[in-house]
Amino acid sequence: MLIVFPGQGSQKIGMGKDLYDRFQSARNVFHEVDDTLSFPLANLIFNGTENELKATENAQPALMAVSMAFVRVLEKEFATDIVSKARFLAGHSLGEYTALCAGGVISLADAAKILRVRGEAMAKACPTEGSMAAILGLDIETVERLVDEVHFENNELKSSKIVLQIANDNCSGQVVISGHESAVARAMKKAQHCGARKTTMLEVSGPFHCQLMEDAAAAVEDVLAKITFHTPVRPIISNVNARAEIDGFDKLLLQQLTERVRWRETVLFAAANSVSECVEIGSGKVLSGLAKRICPQMIVTNINSISSLDEIVKMGKFSATLSRI
């Protein structure tokens, strides 16, 4: 089993509220995160506005808290240590921190601290001329070639140095690029000429997962230096290299800020290592949907609501009975 945790963009107002209302173990997670941040994040998640929640410094710890609430409910109410049942854990961008927390590498409080600093640093590091765009319908090799062409043309013109990188290799036919807005726009135009089904500039606060995040990486490095990392219960597939890792996470997390998220390769790595099931824990269904596109034979399950937990019990996936508080 591959257990995956969502990244930014999966957040929505009210996520995890049913869990919070029903289980003390879920409330404990939200309260610990609130206390760690000295900020009422749970109230923002449940009662705030979409604009407040999507702010990078809020969305990142919020998504982690919701996913970890599900993990704790499974442990306490279902008597199911789902992590120990997994072959690998993984998370998309900030979701990798959730994977590290669920896998026992970092504590819940440390995950919240890091993600608040990471979110604030990413927001501050974002230059106004930076942007991201999704390119649909082209494979990764074609997009890599287009990125190289933009860099080559810029060098030929002897223009000022530009940044343009692949930020997310999500699945075949879904690639995200990041960098200076002018370079992103040129790559989008080239993609259209190459037959891309669609190119869309993304509504994000900045150009994530590229070299324009170097200042953010410096800020995150400072906080990571104060964190104690433990050996994971199960290996974590790194965003940076799409390989199963059991140490070196401090360096990998810094690389992650300025390098691409290799999600397609992550799922393929799991499949190549005899994994046939993907379970997504947390808000939304983005990652399980990508897993199905990458490996159509993969069995996918979402744990994102009390109803999904009840359904899993009915299916007999877990033997324990849901306790009520």
Q: Convert 189-237 into a string of H (helix), E (strand) and C (coil).
A: HHHHHCCCCEEEECCCCCCCCCHHHHHHHHHHHHHHCCCCCCCCCCCEE
Q: Does residue 61 contact residue 44 with C-beta atoms inside 8 Å?
A: no
- Give me the residue label for tokens 């906080």: 223
Structural domains of the chain sorted by starting position, each given as residue range(s) with its CATH number in brackets? 2-125+211-314 (3.40.366.10), 130-201 (3.30.70.250)
pLDDT at 320 (0 to 100): 42
Q: Is 36 helix (H, G, I), strand (E, B) or coil?
A: helix
d(CA 58, CA 53): 6
Please identify every residue annotated as catalytic. 93, 209
Residues 6 or more apart whose Cβ sits within 8 Å of residue 83: 3, 71, 89, 102, 103, 104, 233, 234
Instruction: Using the predicted structure, report yes or no on whether residue 219 has a pLDDT greater than 80.
Output: yes
Reported pTM: 0.94
pLDDT at 323 (0 to 100): 40
Instruction: Using the predicted structure, report yes or no on whether residue 325 has a pLDDT greater than 90.
Output: no
d(CA 129, CA 74): 44
pLDDT at 156 (0 to 100): 80
Strands 164-171 and 130-136: unpaired
Instruction: Using the predicted structure, report yes or no on whether residue 53 has a pLDDT greater than 90.
Output: yes
pLDDT at 70 (0 to 100): 96
What residues pair up with 169 in beta bridges, in sequence order?
175
- For the chain, give the percent of residues with pLDDT over 90: 86
Q: Does residue 99 contact residue 5 with C-beta atoms inside 8 Å?
A: yes
Q: Does residue 319 contact residue 198 with C-beta atoms inside 8 Å?
A: no
pLDDT at 127 (0 to 100): 65
Q: Over the stretch 81-128, which tens digit does the pLDDT of each residue have?
A: 899 999 999 999 999 999 999 999 999 999 999 999 999 999 888 767
3-state per-residue secondary structure call for 249-276:
HHHHHHHHHHCCECHHHHHHHHHHCCCC
Angle ∠(171,174,177) on CA atoms, nearest 5: 115
